[in-house]
Structure 1
Amino acid sequence: MPAIDMPLQELQTYSGINPRPGDFEAYWERALSEMRGVDPTIELVPSPFQTPAAECFDLYFTGVRGARVHAKYARPRHSEQPHPAIVQFHGYSGSAGEWADKLSYVSLGFSIFSLDCRGQGGYSEDTGGVVGSTLNGHIIRGLDGDPDHLLFRHIFLDCAQLAGIAIDSPGVDASRVYAMGGSQGGALTIACAALEPRIKKLAPVFPFLSDYRRVWQMDLAKDAYAELKTYFRNFDPQHEREDEIFMKLGYIDIQHLANRIQGEVMMGVGLMDTICPPSSQFAAYNKITAQKRVEIYPDFGHEGLPGFTDKTIQFFLGNY
């Protein structure tokens, strides 16, 4: 069959090449401590969109660095017992999406919390304040300063914080809170479950933000990763800082968080993916030590994977 990356047998043992900073664990423990010290000041605003089966709210909370973060929250209107919940994450530059795509889960008795990533296509606030370029992307935002100011650090923490809010929400069964998303949403699903270990199941699809140096090595710093090439061309044209830059990106490389996951994982991968190459995805998957399985689509790239949405529903229902 055609291939754009390693053979499957090699993918299944590939361990990634982007460096992991020596203080990685301390970095994320410090970040989590900052998050836990924030008063979230949760606000629920009833949405104009309502259905006979679903109550819908705009949910706001304060995240790290004082940002007001928005999520869409839909819950069953008539739930007589603790019910499961899902935290959902969107693709790069997108938003929480429309209410309509939440209703299938609400009809099955789930609450669903869909994050708007700060500074992207929804209503979450990006409080800024970084040194250096912010041109063309969030991966490089904060790259020139202290790594504690990397924007994706804050976004990863928003994901964990929203998961904690979901777990503590009235009517939610804290033992049945799950996470899902594709591309950037797949990366955030992995980061969320790594930083909030009470997530019981997660279904990431072709996750982004993994093994940056491998993406660079494959000359795929384009499309969603184009900002990496733009950054080097503008700020390090002779790659004198290349090792330093990839090391700093290691703080927000999901492959290095993956071993913290405790929930059960079902991941979807297309082997023809030229946006988030399969090897970068397997770099994260292979580091997961929790119960896991991968659903492989040999002929598909960064696109809808037929049947995976149905499998995800069955996975969360405990039927698959």
Structure 2
Amino acid sequence: MPLVDMPLDKLKNYEGLNPRPDDFDVYWERALAEMRAVDPQIELVPSSFQVPYAECFDLYFTGVRDARIHAKYIRPKNVTEPHPAVLQFHGYTGHSGHWQDKLGYAALGFSFFSLDCRGQGGQSEDTGGVKGNTHHGHIIRGLDDHPDQLLFRHIYLDTAQLAAIAMQMPEVDPDRVMAMGGSQGGALTIACAALEPRIKKLAPVFPFLSDYRRVWQMDLAKDAYAELRTFFRHFDPQHKWEEEIFTKLGYIDIQHLASRIQGEVLFGIGLMDTICPPSTQFAVYNKISAEKRMEIYPDFGHEDLPGFADMTMQFFLEE
């Protein structure tokens, strides 16, 4: 098999390159305290899209830094007992998607929440000082400021806050809430389950936002990671502050959050992935101490992994 990264035996023992800040745990406890102090001001607005067996809502809540966050919410009709729920997270610069592709879970008796990341392609706000979306550059947003200003800090907190909101819904069983997503959505699935460890099961696929220094070392700071190269070229062209920059990125490096996960993990990976290199994904997986399994696709890259969506549904149905 051709290789784009390390051989598989080395990947299974790889622990990552990007620095972990000394105050990492304090940083995230402070962030969670800020999130918990926010009045979410939850609003449910019936959508114009409706189906006979479920109710569809636009859900709005206030996140950290006073951003108004949007998610699609679907709940099955005529289900009297608290039931499981699934949280879905989308890829970088994308949005929560169409209503119809979420209805399979509602038909099975699950509530379903799909988040719009702040400032990207959906309805959620980015309150960083401009109106409208900010779409790209989210990894480096706040990188030249205090670490508490990192935009992905706020996005990670939005995922945990949505999970807490879902768990408080009277129709949802808080002990059976699950999460899934690919690429950025895979990273947010990891972050959500780390910051809200009551997540029962999670199914991340080729997660983004991991092991930034390894991405740089592999000369793959392009495509989804292109802004890393742009940042160095514009703001540190001689790499005088490289260590400081990668250390600050360590606050939003999901490999350092992975050990907090308590839920059961189903992890999908393609070994030919040049967008989110396999080593950066194994850096995450190898730090998960909870029950886990990885489904490996040797000939696939950053693309649909055949059968994995079906595996995910079966995995969630076991609950």
TM range (shorter): over 0.9
- Tell me, yes or no, if structure 1 residue 225 matches structure 2 residue 225: yes
Give the letter aligned to residue 231 of structure 1: F
Give the Cα separation in 1 of the matches to 2:184 and 2:78: 33
Give the Cα separation in 2 of the matches to 1:28 and 1:12: 27
| Deviations 1:192-217 (CA, angstroms, capped at 9, x unpaired) | 00000110000000000000000000
| Deviations 1:239-291 (CA, angstroms, capped at 9, x unpaired) | 11110000000000000000000000000000000000000000000000000
Alignment of 1:53-132 (within 5 A): 53-129=53-129
Q: What is the percentage of aligned positions where both structures have the same residue?
A: 77
2:47 counterpart residue number: 47
Aligned partner of residue 98 in structure 1, secondary structure: coil
Give the letter aligned to residue 316 of structure 2: F
Give the Cα separation in 2 of the matches to 1:139 and 1:180: 21
Aligned partner of residue 138 in structure 1, secondary structure: coil
2:256 counterpart residue number: 256
| Deviations 1:273-318 (CA, angstroms, capped at 9, x unpaired) | 0000000000000000000000000000000000000000000011
Give the letter aligned to residue 300 of structure 2: F
Q: CA deviation at 1:78?
A: 1.6
Give the letter aligned to residue 70 of structure 2: H
Alignment of 1:232-251 (within 5 A): 232-251=232-251
Aligned partner of residue 300 in structure 1, secondary structure: coil
Corresponding pairs, count: 316
CA RMSD of aligned residues (A): 1.1
Kept in 1: contact 2:211–2:280 (CA 8 A): yes
Kept in 1: contact 2:266–2:295 (CA 8 A): yes
Q: CA deviation at 1:136?
A: 4.3
Q: CA deviation at 1:90?
A: 0.1
Give the Cα separation in 1 of the matches to 2:82 and 2:163: 16
Kept in 1: contact 2:121–2:135 (CA 8 A): no
Give the Cα separation in 2 of the matches to 1:278 and 1:192: 21
Give the Cα separation in 2 of the matches to 1:7 and 1:92: 28
Give the Cα separation in 1 of the matches to 2:45 and 2:146: 36
Give the Cα separation in 2 of the matches to 1:111 and 1:4: 39
Give the letter aligned to residue 17 of structure 1: L
Give the letter aligned to residue 223 of structure 1: D
Q: CA deviation at 1:153?
A: 0.1
- The TM-score with structure 2 as length reference comes to 0.98
1:38 counterpart residue number: 38
- Tell me, yes or no, if structure 1 residue 270 matches structure 2 residue 288: no
- Tell me, yes or no, if structure 1 residue 159 matches structure 2 residue 159: yes
Give the letter aligned to residue 210 of structure 2: S
Give the Cα separation in 1 of the matches to 2:116 and 2:170: 22
Q: CA deviation at 1:8?
A: 0.5
1:187 counterpart residue number: 187
The 1:306–1:135 alpha-carbon spacing in structure 2 relative to 1, beyond 3 Å, is closer
Aligned partner of residue 141 in structure 2, secondary structure: coil
2:306 counterpart residue number: 306
Q: CA deviation at 1:54?
A: 1.2
| Deviations 1:91-130 (CA, angstroms, capped at 9, x unpaired) | 0000000001110100110000100000000000000059
Q: CA deviation at 1:80?
A: 2.1
1:215 counterpart residue number: 215
Q: CA deviation at 1:226?
A: 0.2
Give the Cα separation in 2 of the matches to 1:169 and 1:258: 27
Gaps of 5+ in 1: none
Give the Cα separation in 1 of the matches to 2:216 and 2:77: 48
Give the Cα separation in 1 of the matches to 2:75 and 2:305: 27
Task: Tell which deviates more after alignment, 109-118 or 72-81.
Answer: 72-81
Give the Cα separation in 2 of the matches to 1:272 and 1:31: 35
Give the Cα separation in 1 of the matches to 2:206 and 2:275: 9
Aligned partner of residue 87 in structure 1, secondary structure: strand
Give the letter aligned to residue 175 of structure 2: S
Gaps of 5+ in 2: none
Give the letter aligned to residue 252 of structure 1: I
2:16 counterpart residue number: 16
Give the Cα separation in 2 of the matches to 1:276 and 1:54: 36
1:138 counterpart residue number: 138
Give the Cα separation in 1 of the matches to 2:107 and 2:247: 45
Give the Cα separation in 2 of the matches to 1:220 and 1:77: 47
Kept in 1: contact 2:120–2:136 (CA 8 A): no
The 1:248–1:129 alpha-carbon spacing in structure 2 relative to 1, beyond 3 Å, is farther
1:281 counterpart residue number: 281
| Deviations 1:142-196 (CA, angstroms, capped at 9, x unpaired) | 0000000000000000000000001111211111000000000000000000000
